[in-house]
Structure 1
Amino acid sequence: MSDFDKEAEREKLRQQYEAEKEERKATQRMSELLLQGATMTGKHCDTCGDPIFRQNGTEFCPTCQQQQPAGETPAESESAQNADNQERQTEETASAEVPSADATNIEVEQSNAETTGQSAPSGQSTAPSNQPRRASPSQADTSNGRSPEPRTAVEQNERGAGDLAEARNALVRKLTRLAMEAEQTDDVGRARELLAATREGAEALDALDRAKR
């Protein structure tokens, strides 16, 4: 093999190593985000194809976010803060409307009681349809526009478990591919690099398994 061919082969291996190094970094970032409480949205970035995460009300790509200028970070933070403020205002408005259901029931009972008291002395019988009726909880909720209850902790835990399972499957696929490349290569240095990458991926996989327990 000529010197030119050797140099081209070394350059090719170097490029492959750099690409896999970036993949390892992306996998590590995704593992850290999941351990910090972020969730995967099921969508993928239009730029790099990596999964989109949601944390503190903001959706972002962990890979592209690292490549964006620092000046864009405050805008993203402000957008997330505005979303949180709007959500809090909605919850406060819904909670402020809750007592109105009891007030409506009291007014209905008082009105019917007065009507019954006035008609009793005259000896007139009162039809069953005129008897006081208490509005059902479901009707009170509907008439007063009460917002539905937020998601329970069980639903949130199930979603988090699904995100961890998806991340684990992605790690397993990468580990399998790296192990196959290490087995097929004849370059000792290249095999050593692939085995190191496999070991790092296995450590990340172990961290995810501990988080699921």
Structure 2
Amino acid sequence: MRAVIPYKQENAKSRLAPVLTLTEREQFVELMLRDVVCSLREAGVKDIDILATSEYSSLSDLDVNFVIDPADLNESINKYLERQDQPVLIIMADLPLARPEQVKAIISSEEDLVIVPGKGGGTNVLFIKEPAGFHVRYYGMSFRNHCTIAKDMNCSLRIYDSFLLSTDIDEPHDIVEILLHGRGLSFGYVQKKFELESGRARVKLTSLH
């Protein structure tokens, strides 16, 4: 099997702008990507592709393949799937809470398709047994889209419910979850910049600078 990680570093994570500068956001997304790659490696996934619009010299030390495609997310992933003749795990680069045991559970599933829902109707992970006949439809309520596609194709489907894998880092309050549950490079990065403030309501993020 192969894993593919869609990745874009330029102008990354604009919704984190209230708490991180552009340079900090670009550093942060790279560290999250590295954490995802580490979890895949620890799960025994050997073949990892980074699907990007351009190559990144800062990632040259990673033992991964770069697939360069300037097309948008859906088009680039669908072209990628058409070329595959083995199961494919699509995992997003902003899932630093991913754990190797979760990856192992997903790729060992018997179903044709495994979906890990993201917040707000998104799709954070897809495991596709026969990728050449499948197509993705991200954006909007992509979780529902992919369930519908699986039904139309008569694919057996498993919904893998995981708090850690459903937590993609998009908003400042998402960083709270890294400080609470994280480890690895992204955890070390945000730990130097933020601390948690506990009150009567939800835990809040406070800048150290």
Range into which the TM-score falls when normalised by the shorter chain: under 0.3
Structure with greater Cα Rg = 1
Question: Higher helix share goes to which structure?
Answer: 1
TM, length-normalised to structure 1: 0.23
